[in-house]
């Protein structure tokens, strides 16, 4: 009677492990920071972090930055917040709630898809955004990957 239970247990363990491996691949997605191809500013992680936290309002070329982000539901948002900002998505959301409430800034405009982000950035010289690196195209300039 124990043998069928062991057989079922191993099937469950195998299924759960497979699902876990599938989720790990999303957890290590490469994040690309993209700007309009005409943007000649220089970017490093510190600069990108300051821009996306509203602490720097313009690029090194003097033009005002327009922040674009993917949906909070998109896994790349969690990756960006962790790798670049150094905070969890809930911490970033709380940060922007405080900034918005005090009138000190505006959070990034959220887009529903990477293709929408790319289209917006490619048509606006002042836009900066992040997408999954695999979604970046020739329509935008990748200035950093994390």
Run of H or E including 5: helix 2-27
**Cβ-contact 70, 117 below 8 angstroms:** yes
Domains, the chain, with CATH or none: 30-145 (3.40.190.10)
Model pLDDT for residues 129-139, shown as the tens digit of each residue:
999 999 999 99
Residue from 79, 86, 69, 82 nearest 34 by CA: 69
Q: pTM here? A: 0.80
Other beta carbons within 10 angstroms of residue 24's beta carbon come to 9
Indicate the average pLDDT of the chain.
88
Model pLDDT for residues 7-38, shown as the tens digit of each residue:
555 554 544 444 444 444 445 689 999 999 99
d(CA 7, CA 13): 10
């Amino acid at each position: 009677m124990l043998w069928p239970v062991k057989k079922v247990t191993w099937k469950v363990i195998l299924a759960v492990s497979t699902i876990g491996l599938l989720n790990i691949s999303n957890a290590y997605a490469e994040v690309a920071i993209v700007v309009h191809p005409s943007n000649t500013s220089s970017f490093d992680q510190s600069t990108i972090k300051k821009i996306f936290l509203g602490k720097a309002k313009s690029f090194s070329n003097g033009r005002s930055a327009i922040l674009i982000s993917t949906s909070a539901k998109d896994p790349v948002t969690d990756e960006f917040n962790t790798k670049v900002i150094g905070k969890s998505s809930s911490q970033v959301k709380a940060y922007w709630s405080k900034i918005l409430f005090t009138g000190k800034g505006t959070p990034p405009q959220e887009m529903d898809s990477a293709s929408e982000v790319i289209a917006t950035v490619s048509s606006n010289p002042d836009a900066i955004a992040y997408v999954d690196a695999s979604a970046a195209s020739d329509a935008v300039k990748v200035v950093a990957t994390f």
